[in-house]
Amino acid sequence: MIPQAKLDLAEIIQSATGGQPGVSPDMLEALRILTGSWNQDGHLTPAGAAGKRAGLIRAITNRLRLEDTLTRHPEIIREPIAGPIVIIGLPRSGTTKLHRIIAAGPGMQKLLLWQLLNPVPLPNTPPNGPDPRIALAEAYTQALRANAPELYAAHPMAANEPDEDIFALEVTGYNYINCSTVPAPAYKAWLDQQSFTPVYRWLKLILQVQQFFGHGRGQPWVLKAPQHMGFLPELFSTFPNATIVHCHRDPKITVASYIAMIAAARRASCTIANAADVGRYALEFWGEHTRRYLAARAVLATNHSFVDLAYNSIVADSLACAERIHAAAGLPLPAASRAAMLAWEQSNTQHKHGKHSYNLADAGLTPDDIARAFAQYTNQFGGYF
């Protein structure tokens, strides 16, 4: 039997800070609850604990670097953020493909994986030559592919590809990915009671930092994370000119696929990885966040821009989808962008990194369970399935 491993938050903080002034109180509270929850219910393997330890050290280090950067360059907070286009939808609904196609346009700003994992330039980075953060991201993806091939097949990652905003938000300590890929019920219960307004302020700051160092001022941004569905008011409060792009697909398919992906993540890190547990988590979490989204959209749609797209349309004619998105956001779609988008799609065919298999019954759920949890969503948007 593989022994269960524990995390020592004091040791993690010491390793991240070297004994220097430490973690901000808000992040420290989140990390205390998170590590306590992982130690209680996460059933981490030694390898899983080592991976989580490394992730927490990275998060703490990045938070300190961001705070130091903002102290040295207070003008960063004046960087104007254009847009952004924000792609949402239930996991496995085509959001990743659409995100990367839109981001392929040469005039579009995006958060590449190497920037998400390390938002601030590393100390002593040479002014010329490759950014060392790229090599760190490549090592990260290689380890993921080797240790969790099922997860990688479901969600391929590359250092120079854009990825989900939630990776950058590890610097806040407020991140639902922490209780999906490893069981953390106490942390999730705490997180459900927190305001995410500061989290979205940090997301904007991270965009401003990238823009400040990358000289992309004036160019529009494209973001993506299914998790944004539950936080429309916070998102629009931070980005009032955002254009929301909602990818739609039958929840009976998306939830089954998501469960298989998260179960694969848990098998890679935990001594216990029960698909039925993941099924209950997915049904509760995404059912609630979808209901919150529908309620918020009913109020906010009057004054904000939404684009609804069917998964089948994204698969069949992504360029037509891109045209709709750009028109809604008031952006031109030049020939160079069209060519770049088509080139990306031709180089990234479905199942390129392996086929992702899933079955709703494996999680102990039935189509009726999904129908009940997503009845309102299906009634409103079922025509897109």
3-state secondary structure of 63: helix
Q: Above 50 in pLDDT, residue 72?
A: yes
What global pTM score does this model have? 0.94
Mean pLDDT of the region 66-95: 96
What is the tens place of the pLDDT at every residue in 169-179? 999 999 999 99
Q: Above 90 in pLDDT, residue 70?
A: yes
Mean pLDDT of the region 225-245: 97
- Residue 55 is assigned to a structural domain of this protein: yes
pLDDT, position 350: 63
On the CB side of 113, how many CA atoms lie within 13 Å of its CA? 19
pLDDT, position 305: 96
Could you give the percent of the chain with pLDDT greater than 70? 97
CA distance linking residue 326 with residue 272, whole number of Å: 45
CA distance linking residue 213 with residue 69, whole number of Å: 11
- Residue 2 is assigned to a structural domain of this protein: no
Q: Structure tokens of 245?
A: 């792009």
- Residue 1 is assigned to a structural domain of this protein: no
pLDDT, position 352: 54
Q: Above 70 in pLDDT, residue 36?
A: yes
pLDDT, position 294: 98
Mean pLDDT of the region 71-89: 97
pLDDT, position 355: 53
Mean pLDDT of the region 125-140: 91
pLDDT, position 353: 47
CATH code at 58?
3.40.50.300
- Residue 136 is assigned to a structural domain of this protein: yes
Cis, peptide link before residue 84, omega less than 30° from 0: yes
Contacts (Cβ under 8 Å, ≥6 apart) of 110: 99, 103, 162, 221, 222, 223
What is the tens place of the pLDDT at every residue in 276-289? 999 999 999 999 99
Which range of residues forms the domain containing residue 101?
9-123+130-384
pLDDT, position 74: 97
Rounded to the nearest integer, the mean pLDDT of the chain is: 94
What letters, b where the CB count within 10 A reaches 16 and e where it falls short, cover 8-22? ebeebbebbeeeeee
**Of residues 229 and 146, more confidently modeled:** 229
pLDDT, position 215: 82
- Residue 22 is assigned to a structural domain of this protein: yes
The secondary structure element, H or E, covering residue 221 is strand 220-224
- Residue 276 is assigned to a structural domain of this protein: yes
Please, what sign has the CA dihedral across residues 192, 196, 202, 206?
A: positive
What is the tens place of the pLDDT at every residue in 302-358? 999 999 999 999 999 999 999 999 999 999 999 999 999 999 999 987 655 445 556
- Residue 68 is assigned to a structural domain of this protein: yes
Closest CA to 190 of 31, 373, 25, 8: 31
pLDDT, position 281: 95
Q: Structure tokens of 123?
A: 């100390």
- Residue 3 is assigned to a structural domain of this protein: no
Q: In the 3-class helix/strand/coil scheme, how is 307-367 assigned residue by residue?
A: EEEEHHHHHHCHHHHHHHHHHHCCCCCCHHHHHHHHHHHHHCCCCCCCCCCCCHHHHCCCH
What is the tens place of the pLDDT at every residue in 357-373? 568 888 889 999 999 99
What is the tens place of the pLDDT at every residue in 251-263? 999 999 999 999 9
C-beta of residue 165 within 8 angstroms of C-beta of residue 238: no
C-beta of residue 75 within 8 angstroms of C-beta of residue 296: no
What letters, b where the CB count within 10 A reaches 16 and e where it falls short, cover 286-318? bbebbbebbebbeeeeeebbebbbbbebbeeeb
CA distance linking residue 274 with residue 269, whole number of Å: 12
pLDDT, position 274: 86
Closest CA to 183 of 294, 273, 301: 273
Q: How many domains does the chain have?
A: 1
Phi, psi angle pair for 222, to nearest 5°: -125, 130
C-beta of residue 248 within 8 angstroms of C-beta of residue 190: no
C-beta of residue 245 within 8 angstroms of C-beta of residue 108: no
Q: What share of the chain is helix, strand, coil (3-state, %, to 5)?
A: 65, 10, 30
